Chains A and B, each alone.
Chain A
Amino acid sequence: MKVATLLFVVAAGPIGLAAQSVRGRLQGRVPESAIAAVDSLVRAAEMESLPSDPLVKKALEGGAKGVSADRIVLAVRQTAGQLHDARALLRRGQAGEPSADEIASVAAALGRGVPTPLGERMASALPGEPMGPALHAVADLVGHGFAQDSAVDLVVTAGQKGMRGLRLLDVASAAVAELQRGRTHAQAIADVRGGLPDVPSAPPAAPGVLNRLRRPPQGVRSPS
């Protein structure tokens, strides 16, 4: 009996501490009436092995922006749904379990308006590749008026020509640059596609920037 009690305490301890830590982060920064609901959503996400930090951050964002408790809870629930969809999409495209960062990245891309079916199409066209940057590249293109199908085709072609990860963002930047030079959307896509995989990389930071670098003083947390 004593052993069972001890095992229960050892098993329940970290969960209790985690819950305490979430409430601690929310206390004083989120309306009191939202904390219990947000805490419940966070715990549900943890039970499903979904990343919970984006949910806490969404609640903190709502508190900072002075949003009502109801809207905060709604937004946190919506974020949890995006994380769920993102993981489902990633599970279809790769063998192993996706990491928390990958899930958050894809969820952010979905939040930019990339429809889930489009993401699934990307995942099947580029199996095993990181989906976050690929979907953000598509979102970059769509955000500049390119048709969704053209955007997906361009990014998939770049992936099939060996471009990986953040380099796919350079493909989108190259197409946008063509647009800014006066080319039509179709011409810009054709020009960049014709030059693949040779597109310019993002420029490095200017040397003077390194001397002015700062860190967020309260410690950097993981990306959104």
Chain B
Amino acid sequence: MDPRLHRVLDGELDRDQLPADLRAELERLERATALLAAAPAAGSVAARVLAAVHRPHRALAARVGQWLYERHAVTLKLRPIWSLALAAALALIAVLAGRGTGPAVLAAGEGIAQFVGRFPGAHSVEVVGSFNDWRSGSLPLTDDDQDGVWNAEVVLPAGEHQYMFVVDGEKWVVDPLAGRYVDDGFGRQNALMIVRPVVR
């Protein structure tokens, strides 16, 4: 760069004292300076890359799901007596859950009783007998395909069991397919089922 341009830029020399060619060059320099001054200040490369990275906004459920999936250190302090109490409570829950009406597991000395009856048009059929103290409402039969054939499969102790069907909550019916019957002592007959223990 011509030293006279430096002097003009430093304010030591008036621009009118420059020759025409240098004055034109001075004007180009001033335009370039003005352009640079108008441009925004550039940050570091890293700052510009991070600024360019798009972080999508994630839903709350997704964040909760990720939190559940990620590993977290959990510290649980319990007195041994409470640990034992907790174990006992869980064992009790497991035992009680096994006594419900869900699928059952056979124990020694138990067998399978299958109750089947054809009751077209019936709204409900249940079996009552010596195995449930003749109590209604505990062993309903089902007719899933609604073809009038009702059935139930029940775990019972091996041995003899007397029973009857109760149709629509009021009509007591002897199982016509039982094959074994016994005088009920009240002027009618009960069906008799002999349950065999399941061989393991």
Contacts and interface: CB of A to CB of B under 8 A. Distances in A.
Interface in A147-182: 166, 169
Given A214-B104, A215-B101, A218-B132, A108 B182 contact: yes
A50 interface: no
A144 to B, nearest CB: 8
Contact of A214 (B102, B184, B192, B195): B102
A220 B131 contact: yes
Interface residues of A, number: 51
A216 B139 contact: yes
Contacts, number: 145
A65 B136 CA distance: 10
B181 A215 contact: no
Contacts of B104: 213-215
Contacts of B136: 64
A79 interface: yes
Given A101-B159, A212-B153, A217 B138 contact: yes
B130 to A, nearest CB: 4
B154 A65 contact: no
A139 interface: yes
Nearest to B100: A217
Contacts of B183: 111-113
Interface of B: 99-104, 106, 110, 112, 114, 128-136, 138-139, 152-162, 172, 179-186, 190, 192, 194-196, 198
